[in-house]
Amino acid sequence: MGGRQVAIVTGAGQGIGKGIARTLAERGYDLVITSRTERDLDGTRQSVEEAGGAATIVVADLKDPGTASRLVESALTRFGRVDGLVNNAAVNIFAPFLDQTDSNLDEMIETNLTAPFFLCQAVANHWIEKGLPGAIVNISSAEDTIAYPEQVPYASSKGGLLSMTKVLALEWGPLGIRVNAVSPGSIDTEMTPEVYRRQASRLMPIGRLGKPEEIGSCVHFLLSDDAAFVTGTSLYADGGYMLQ
């Protein structure tokens, strides 16, 4: 199938998601981008268009049961195809474990793990029904492997996301569907705590925070045919932090 590829990118209104969207647009993708805030998505759409791509905005809460099918339908209606899914949207609430609340836990699990679960189902159902290949990239975190303080629900959700990535890769590999993850370390976005910025040069062998577009490059590789023999793994983009 020729033409530009099409990907769904969640949490695309800012930060890593916006960087992923622009990078994919630069490299031949049209996009369905989603977030809860239309104003942020307008900025991402402009960035995508400046990079040579087209973008359809879907303002939605990923916790709503109908959002997954709505995103797939939006891709098919606008572009006639969907080739990739990037589950990027996430929530992190910092607090000591004994101060974490039921609502904190629910928010992070529903956004970081449950929403990707149903989005993976929605795109895979389409691909399997049509006999098409596909690629999914779940944006996990270095915290799926190493521990940071005050982030138990977040780390738990990301550990679950990595496990889901592996099991889906095993189940869907024979069907031509690849499922991988990117596990970023500290990335320079508006959500990055100041303490991480101050410590970056000391903690990262590379000596700086990552850039959203660098995560976008990792995502593009895993979506592309260059990664045709890669599935069920995570690419750790952490500036070498995990080496310490």
Domains detected in the chain: 5-243 (3.40.50.720)
Q: Report residue 233: phi and psi, to 5°.
A: -130, 170
Selection from 8, 63, 60, 21 nearest residue 38 by Cα: 60
- Residue 3 pLDDT grade (very low, low, confident, very high; cuts 50, 70, 90): confident
- Residue 2 pLDDT grade (very low, low, confident, very high; cuts 50, 70, 90): low
Burial class (CB in 10 A: 0-12, 13-18, 19+), 142: buried
CA atoms of 44 and 52, how far apart (whole Å): 13
Share of residues in the chain with pLDDT > 70 (%) = 99
> Tens digits of per-residue pLDDT, 73-106?
999 999 999 999 999 999 999 999 999 999 999 9
Catalytic residues: 154
Q: Which strands sit side by side in the sheet containing 29-35, from one edge to the other?
A: 55-59, 29-35, 5-10, 84-87, 134-139, 177-184, 234-237
CA atoms of 175 and 61, how far apart (whole Å): 30
172 Cβ contact list (under 8 Å, min separation 6): 124, 178, 179
pTM: 0.96
Q: Report residue 180: phi and psi, to 5°.
A: -135, 175
Give whichever of 3-7, 26-30, 201-205 has the largest mean pLDDT: 26-30
**Do 19 and 33 form a contact (C-beta atoms < 8 A)?**
no
